[in-house]
């Protein structure tokens, strides 16, 4: 009996040891790269560096790997996690503090697998689950650009604010095993070349899902491609609601033509909407630099994603506001909003966006409505020219109650169905977007 | 693009997204309309578009082609506008005057729509900012025009003249 128990115990221990060793090996192993053992590349031709620069634009590397006043790609941007702040890293080719000592294979492992040169796992604030889709060619071009096209900057990386033992990186290897597939993009036979190119940009370098796909409990994107209806179905992040990019007629792109999408990403505006919130950064740094062909590809792909009528509801139709002159709730609207957005809420062509029927006015999530009213929109710079029309911030002019009243009017008039806004919701977001508050939102992921 | 301003036609060459304010001030030299905040907040740039008050700093010029634009230079051609300007003079409303062309446009639009506005209606419509604080004088002038609504401006001027004479005699 005792001997039996000892044997069982020994077996269990041994099995446990094997599993532990297996896990230890797995979480510290260096994933393979197709570039392993490749000879150090010669100085690439200018065209390859240029192509790499274009891919860096598509991927919007600069948005996170720079601070507003810092050198491009020198890192240092703070990002919040539930455990504490982390900081983006220096990806200039500086040997001491940047990625100057990275081989192509090292670079590939960081980009597509989230593993740094010294073997530590990156936090998935780096969108490597999306960048995994990169083709080998694009990885090479991007590497050529970062090694030969970017100015080295000596700027040490800041340590994370996450305390020990939660700052251990190895569990991220298990996260990767569950939530990423690490496969580069495989063209689909049933899509044409344009569609496949669009799918590649949207899923890979564009990493649109980082903001627009809802995340699960482990901060994982619930889907990484069109195989799931959750993909790009809209998500709340950093105090903004990134709307659905699917065919949802009210809260998505259902009413947009492919040409509308191209115009929006190229010039930052169309008759349906103007970029604001985090999308203003994505436009300023990335989408406006995309080639016409790539923009058409993105539009083709996005328009192939079906909407979800069960969630989205019946198609919006404009209905004129009841009562003339407008009822008292509209007072703030008429004095603060109507000069630009029109007394009828229909905006002014492509210059000033309509509130009637807009995704932000139709979506149940009201964060974008509140945030843009309190804080205004960011400067939109198209072709180097700042915009003539910009939403001003009203946080110092309107009380929580007034913001709630005016947004409740906007979100329930002209056929809008977003629903009323409560003063408590305005108060909460006002505090979370006040830079002087101790509770301010710090950018999370994109 | 052809613009209809104060009953005249103008051919303008601005980019379609240029704010109307810059077209009328810089290209056409109608500088009575003022630039204040550039964000539709203060009302200094108020003009009338088809009789309705609008803020020229946020109107892309392409959107007002074919519509009747009235600026402070042309407001006295409108009978209500004429009475408003007269009342402004009688009440000596302006102090520094920078916001006043916008105030006159807003008051004209209000009185065209609502000839006898209540205090609430005046408060609701007259949201233009005035850093000199002429709000009380503005309200009094609007009430006077409203009280006289229907009388001709000549009759009003005569009445005002008589009042002034009386004051001088007293």
Asked whether the beta carbons of residue B58 and residue A389 sit closer than 8 angstroms, the reply is yes
Please say whether the beta carbons of A356 and A414 come within 8 A.
Answer: yes
Interface of B with A (CB under 8 A): 17-19, 39-41, 54-55, 58-60, 62-63, 124, 127
Three-state DSSP string of A15-33: HHHHHHHHHHHHHHCCCCC
Mutate which: A326, A341, A389, vs B, most B CBs within 10 A? A389
Please say whether the beta carbons of A301 and A290 come within 8 A.
Answer: no
- Spacing of C-alpha B105 from chain mean position: 2
Section A136-150 average pLDDT: 96
Low-confidence residues in chain B, pLDDT < 50: 152-154, 156, 159-170
Pairing of strands B46-49, A385-386: unpaired
pLDDT (0 to 100) of residue A446: 42
**pLDDT tens-digit profile of B117-136?**
999 889 888 999 999 999 99
> Nearest CB to B63: which of A339, A348, A392?
A348
Q: How far is A275 from chain B (nearest CA, A)?
A: 17
Smallest CA–CA distance from A324 into chain B, residue? B113
Q: Give every CB contact of residue B139 below 8 A, 6+ residues apart in sequence.
A: B119, B122, B126
A306 inside 8 A of chain B by CB: no
pLDDT (0 to 100) of residue A6: 84
Section A199-210 average pLDDT: 97
In chain B, where does the domain assigned CATH 1.10.150.120 lie?
75-164
pLDDT (0 to 100) of residue A3: 74
Gap between the Cα atoms of A202 and A211, Å rounded = 12
Cis peptide before A325 (omega within 30 of 0): yes
pLDDT (0 to 100) of residue A83: 83
Across A7-16, A39-48, A239-248, the highest mean pLDDT is recorded for A239-248
Token pair listed for A293: 């062909």
Max CA distance (Å), chain A: 92
A327 inside 8 A of chain B by CB: no
| CA-based nearest residue to A294, from A187, A202, A189, A190 | A202
Q: Name the CATH superfamily for B2-70.
A: Beta-grasp domain (3.10.20.30)
Is the ipTM of this structure higher than 0.85? no
Smallest CA–CA distance from A331 into chain B, residue? B124
Percent of chain A with pLDDT over 90: 74
Section A348-353 average pLDDT: 92
With tokens 């069960």, the residue in question is A310
Asked whether the beta carbons of residue A349 and residue B124 sit closer than 8 angstroms, the reply is no
Please say whether the beta carbons of A170 and A219 come within 8 A.
Answer: no
Q: How far is A258 from chain B (nearest CA, A)?
A: 23
Helix/strand/coil for A81: strand
Residues 331 to 390 of A: which have CB under 8 A from any B CB?
331, 334-335, 339-340, 348-349, 351-352, 388-390
A82-96, A305-319, A329-343, A364-378: the lowest-pLDDT one: A329-343
Give the domains, in start order, of chain A with CATH numbers: 25-33+44-152+164-179 (1.10.760), 193-432 (1.10.760.10)
Section A429-436 average pLDDT: 89
CATH number of B75-164: 1.10.150.120
Section A287-308 average pLDDT: 98
In chain B, where does the domain assigned CATH 3.10.20.30 lie?
2-70
Gap between the Cα atoms of A272 and A347, Å rounded = 9
Write the DSSP assignment of A379-419 as a string of letters: PPEETTEE-S--PPP-TTTS-HHHHHHHHHHHHHSTT--S-
Q: What are the chain A neighbours of B17 within 8 Å (beta carbons)?
A: 351, 388-389
Indicate the average pLDDT of chain A: 92
Inter-CA distances, A158 with A78, A79, A231, A424, A444, Å: 9, 12, 33, 36, 17
Section A274-284 average pLDDT: 94
Section A141-152 average pLDDT: 96
pLDDT band at A335 (very low <50, low <70, confident <90, very high): confident
Mutate which: B1, B23, B52, B63, vs A, most A CBs within 10 A? B63
- pLDDT, greater one: A27 or A329: A27
With tokens 């010669």, the residue in question is A42
pLDDT band at A324 (very low <50, low <70, confident <90, very high): low
Inter-CA distances, A107 with A91, A164, B128, Å: 10, 27, 58
């Amino acid at each position: 009996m005792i001997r039996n128990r000892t044997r069982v115990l020994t077996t269990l221990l041994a099995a446990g040891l094997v599993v532990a060793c297996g896990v230890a090996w797995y979480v510290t192993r260096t994933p393979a790269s197709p570039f392993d053992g490749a000879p150090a590349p010669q100085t690439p031709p200018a065209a390859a560096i240029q192509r790499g620069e274009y891919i860096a634009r598509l991927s919007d590397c600069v948005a996170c790997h720079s601070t507003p006043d810092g050198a491009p790609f020198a890192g240092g941007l703070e990002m919040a996690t539930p455990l504490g702040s982390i900081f983006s890293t220096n990806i200039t080719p500086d040997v001491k503090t940047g990625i100057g000592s990275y081989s192509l294979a090292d670079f590939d492992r960081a980009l597509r697998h989230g593993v740094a040169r010294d073997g530590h796992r990156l936090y998935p604030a780096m969108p490597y689950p999306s960048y995994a889709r990169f083709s080998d060619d694009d990885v090479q071009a991007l590497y050529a650009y970062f090694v030969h096209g970017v100015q080295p900057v000596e700027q040490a990386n800041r340590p994370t604010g996450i305390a020990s033992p939660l700052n251990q990186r190895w569990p991220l290897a298990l996260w990767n095993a569950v939530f990423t597939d690490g496969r580069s993009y495989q063209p689909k036979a049933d899509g044409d070349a344009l569609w496949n190119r669009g799918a590649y940009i949207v899923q890979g370098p564009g990493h649109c899902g980082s903001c627009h796909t809802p995340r699960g409990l482990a901060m994982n994107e619930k889907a990484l491609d069109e195989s799931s209806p959750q993909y790009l179905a809209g998500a709340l992040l950093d105090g903004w609601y990134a709307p659905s990019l699917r065919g949802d007629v009210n809260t998505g792109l259902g009413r947009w033509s492919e040409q509308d999408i191209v115009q929006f990403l190229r010039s930052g505006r169309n008759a349906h909407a103007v970029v604001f919130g985090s999308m203003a950064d994505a436009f300023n740094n990335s989408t406006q630099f995309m080639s016409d062909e790539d923009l058409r590809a993105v539009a083709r792909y996005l328009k192939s994603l079906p909407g979800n009528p069960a969630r989205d509801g019946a198609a919006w139709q404009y209905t004129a506001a009841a009562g003339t002159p407008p009822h008292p709730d509209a007072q703030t609207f008429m004095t603060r909003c109507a000069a630009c957005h029109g007394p009828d809420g229909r905006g002014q062509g492509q210059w000033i966006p309509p509130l009637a029927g807009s995704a932000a006015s139709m979506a149940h999530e009201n964060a974008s409505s509140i945030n843009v009213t309190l804080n205004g929109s960011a400067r939109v710079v198209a072709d180097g020219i700042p915009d003539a029309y910009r939403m001003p911030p009203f946080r110092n002019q309107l009380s929580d109650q007034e913001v709630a009243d005016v947004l409740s009017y906007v979100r329930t008039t002209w056929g809008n169905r977003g629903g009323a806004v409560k003063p408590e919701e305005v108060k909460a977001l006002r505090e979370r977007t006040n830079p002087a508050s101790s509770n301010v939102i710090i950018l999370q992921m994109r | 693009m052809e613009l209809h301003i104060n009953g005249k036609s103008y051919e303008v060459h601005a980019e379609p997204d240029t704010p109307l304010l810059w077209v009328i001030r810089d290209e056409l030299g109608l500088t009575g309309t003022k630039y204040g905040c550039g964000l539709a907040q203060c009302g200094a740039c108020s003009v009338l578009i088809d009789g309705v008050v609008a803020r020229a700093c946020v109107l892309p010029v392409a959107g007002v082609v074919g519509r009747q634009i009235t600026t402070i230079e042309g407001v006295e051609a409108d009978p209500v506008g004429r009475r408003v300007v007269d009342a402004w003079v009688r009440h000596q409303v302006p102090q520094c005057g920078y916001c006043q062309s916008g105030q006159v446009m807003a008051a004209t639009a209000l009185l065209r729509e609502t000839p006898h506005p209540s205090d609430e209606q005046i408060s609701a419509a007259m949201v233009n900012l005035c850093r000199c604080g002429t709000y009380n004088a503005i309200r009094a002038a609007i009430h006077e025009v409203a009280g006289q609504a229907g009388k001709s401006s000549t009759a009003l001027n005569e009445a005002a003249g008589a009042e002034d004479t009386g004051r001088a005699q007293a």
